[in-house]
Amino acid sequence: MARVRQPAVAGTFYDGDPTVLRRHVDLLLDRAKEPNVQGTIKGLVSPHAGYMYSGSTAAVGYKLLKGKSYDSVVIVGPSHREFFNGASIYPGDSYRTPLGDVPIHEELRDELAKESGIVMLSEAGHRAEHCLEVQLPFLQRVLGEFSIVPIIIGNQRRESCLALGNALAKAAKGRNVLLVASSDLSHYHPYDEAVSLDRRVIAFVEALDENTLLEQLEEERIEACGGGPVVAIMRAAKLLGANRSQALFYCNSGDITGDKDAVVGYLSAAFLQAN
Cα–Cα distance between 112 and 116 in angstroms, integer? 6
Looking at residue 129, its pLDDT comes to: 97
Helix 227-239 with 191-206: angle, nearest 10 deg: 20
> Model's pTM, two decimal places?
0.97
- Contact, 198 vs 256, CB < 8 A? no
* Torsions phi, psi for 9 (to 5 deg): -125, 15
- Contact, 250 vs 266, CB < 8 A? yes
H or E element at residue 46? strand 40-46
Q: How far is CA 150 from CA 74, 132, 147, in A?
A: 6, 7, 10
Q: Which residues contact 153 (CB under 8 A, 6 or more apart)?
A: 76, 77, 78, 79, 86, 87, 125, 160, 161, 164, 228, 229, 232
Strand 100-103: give its sheet, edge to edge: 4-5, 94-97, 100-103
**pLDDT (tens digit, 9 = 90+) per residue, 109-141?**
999 998 888 999 999 999 999 999 999 999 999
H or E element at residue 87? strand 87-89
**pLDDT (tens digit, 9 = 90+) per residue, 137-179?**
999 999 989 999 999 999 888 989 999 999 999 999 999 999 9
Q: How far is CA 47 from CA 93, 119, 255, 268, in A?
A: 25, 23, 15, 7
Strands 119-121 and 72-78: unpaired
Cα–Cα distance between 59 and 29 in angstroms, integer? 5
**pLDDT (tens digit, 9 = 90+) per residue, 27-65?**
999 999 988 999 999 999 999 999 999 999 999 999 999
Mean pLDDT to the nearest integer, 11-30: 98
In the chain, the domains with their CATH numbers are: 4-9+39-273 (3.40.830.10)
**pLDDT (tens digit, 9 = 90+) per residue, 231-267?**
999 999 999 999 999 999 999 999 999 999 999 999 9
